Amino acid sequence: MSLSYSFLEVDMINDFSIYLLDPVIKIEYKMNMPKEIGNRFILEKSHLTKDTHTNNISQIISDLLGLHATNTSSAYISLFCRGKDFTTDVLHELLYKSKNIAKIRCIRGTVFFHHEDLIPTMHVATLKYRLRQMQKRLDYIKIGNQTLLDYKERILDLLKNKPLTIREIREKLQTDVDLSSILIILSDLGLIVRSKPRNNWLDRMHTYELFEEAVPNVKLDSITEQEAIEKIILQYVNHYGPVCLNDIVWWTGFGKTVVKESLEKLFLKLTTIDVNPFNQEFYISSDQLILAKVLNPAHESIISLLPILDPYIMGYKFRDRYIEEGKDYIFDRSGNATNTIILNGVVVGIWDWELDPPLIKYFLFGELSKNQLELLTIELKEMGNFLMPKPFEIKKHDSMGPLTKRTAGWVLKPLRDT
């Protein structure tokens, strides 16, 4: 049974999700949520409103279900725009010395910073996929199981109480074997992790550390594969909802059949709503319906500068919710998102930065009001102070080349030629 009500009409209903009448039948009043309310709801869950900013980086990482760690600076900027009181040096220490945060490869074969609470779940749910992926690579480069076992023991012994870079490991082993592939598979097995760079936060040469030394309280066998898959799907809907089926399938990488089967098992914990003006069904956590219905669109403008691959942008396959124009400027041909300027949850422009000469640059898709431009200038100054070791200039660009017509590297520096 499903009754359709507008978002405002839901206020007249005291209890609009009833599950106890029958253990099999779920009775619900289907809510109709405006896109603006949905965006505001997600901004708050993503710590992108002033009253949800926090300096607890473990909380931020947990609520975002991880931070992309494939780019050197992305995770630092994602944390800064949700905390504001950070410096790059403080974040560098917190990320690598806390002993409760680690880089692991998980969903979609991508490397994320994860908090220890979610590491076993992410590891177990994605292990088969990652090992199949790596076996193809090992077969291609002709590294057999015995070779892998031999190097495994030698590498683990080298890393005891001493994180090392790949260059340092190679020098100690005196080998020209494809160490990169071996280190990736040892990471995928949960034996080692990518750890702190040798120098500062911009150093791309990270070290490797024994998993048990990086996150000593994590037990990877604490959850079964099916439990892990269902937990990830439930957590994703909780933290990113409202989301559609294609969002869940794309973000998790589990495949539509697996996702649909898990959603059937989770039906008492989730419900579906309509989000205007989109003509499809969206999932939301059942216990968040009341929280969602009391939200109002922001009367004040909320502006944030997000880095490449930020979770707010990369968290969805269906992107019409936050893209009204400029899609070819936001994503490259591989679907990677560049640095974005968001206004009340919608992307309105692109920003970029350089250390030499020290510059913060931006490009807008359209006009902003005087008040919005003032807020944007404040955000640009705060970001410049965070990123730059010396005084910098702010520069507005009137044009930008579409990323869909550029090679992959342009997503890292979208305004470098304008």
Assigned token pair, 357: 């000469």
Whether 298 is in a domain gets the answer no
Alpha carbon 262 to its chain centroid, in Å, reads 22
Say if residue 277 is in the same domain as residue 373.
no
155 and 242: one domain?
no
253 and 133 inside one domain: no
Closest to 137 in 3D by CA, of 148, 126, 146: 148
Residue at 287 is within a domain: yes
Residue 128 vs residues 133, 229, 297: alpha-carbon distances, Å: 9, 12, 42
The residue out of 178, 196, 214 marking a domain boundary is: 214
Look-up: residue for tokens 């098992």? 265
Q: Structure tokens of 202?
A: 């911009």
268 located within any domain: yes
Q: What is the DSSP pairing of strand 206-210 with strand 164-165?
A: antiparallel
Query: What b/e string do you get for 12-27 counting C-beta neighbours within 10 Å, with b at 16 or more?
Result: eeeebbeeeeeeeebe
CB proximity list for 55: less than 8 A, separation 6 or greater: 83, 85, 86
CA 192, CA 213: separation in Å to the nearest integer? Answer: 9
Tell whether 114 and 180 lie within a shared domain.
yes
pTM, rounded to two decimals = 0.89
Q: How many helices (H) and strands (E) does the chain have?
A: 16, 16
The two three-digit tokens of residue 146, written as one number = 């015995």
Q: Which domain holds residue 9?
A: 2-45+224-293
Which of 293, 310, 334 is the last residue in one of the domains? 293
The reply to whether 175 and 233 lie within a common domain is no
Among residues 293, 308, 338, the one where a domain terminates is 293
Is 418 part of any domain?
no
Residues 166 and 278 in one domain: no
Judge if the upstream peptide bond of residue 357 is cis by omega within 30 degrees of 0.
yes
The rounded radius of gyration (Å) of the Cα atoms in the chain is 23
Chain Cα centroid distance, residue 16: 32
CATH of residue 164's domain is 1.10.10
Q: Which residues contact 374 (CB under 8 A, 6 or more apart)?
A: none
pLDDT in tens, 84-105: 788 888 888 888 888 999 999 9
Q: Phi first, then psi: give them for residue 7, nearest 5 degrees.
A: -60, -40
Q: What is the pLDDT of residue 279?
A: 86
Per-10-residue mean pLDDT, the chain, length 418: 38 38 50 88 94 93 94 91 86 86 93 96 94 85 86 96 95 91 93 90 89 95 95 97 96 95 93 91 89 70 96 96 95 95 97 94 96 97 93 96 92 85
User: H or E stretch including 208?
Assistant: strand 206-210
H helix or E strand, kind and range, residue 43: helix 35-45
SS3 356: coil
Q: Which two tokens stand for residue 401?
A: 């080349």
pLDDT of residue 89: 83
Pair (95, 186) in one structural domain: yes
Q: Is residue 229 part of a domain?
A: yes
* Strand ranges for 52-95 from DSSP E: 67-68
Please check whether residue 348 is in contact with residue 83, taking contact to mean a CB–CB distance below 8 angstroms. Answer: no
Count of domains observed in the chain:
3
Q: What is the pLDDT of residue 28?
A: 53
Other Cβ atoms closer than 10 A to 379: 17
* 207 and 122 inside one domain: yes
Tell me whether residue 393 is in a domain: yes
Query: Which element (helix H / strand E) includes 95?
Result: helix 88-97
Determine, yes or no, domain membership for 267: yes
Q: Which two tokens stand for residue 18?
A: 């009833």
| 3-state helix vs strand vs coil in the chain, percent to 5 | 45, 20, 35
Residues in contact with 1: Cβ distance below 8 Å, sequence separation at least 6, in sequence order: 25, 27, 28
99 with 216: CB under 8 angstroms?
A: yes
Exposed/middle/buried for residue 417 (C-beta within 10 Å: 0-12, 13-18, 19+): exposed
In a domain, 149, yes or no: yes
Give the end-to-end CA distance of the chain in Å, rounded to a whole number.
56
Whole-angstrom Cα distance, residue 51 to residue 109?
34
Token representation of residue 274: 């309509």
- Please tell me whether residues 245 and 210 are part of one structural domain: no
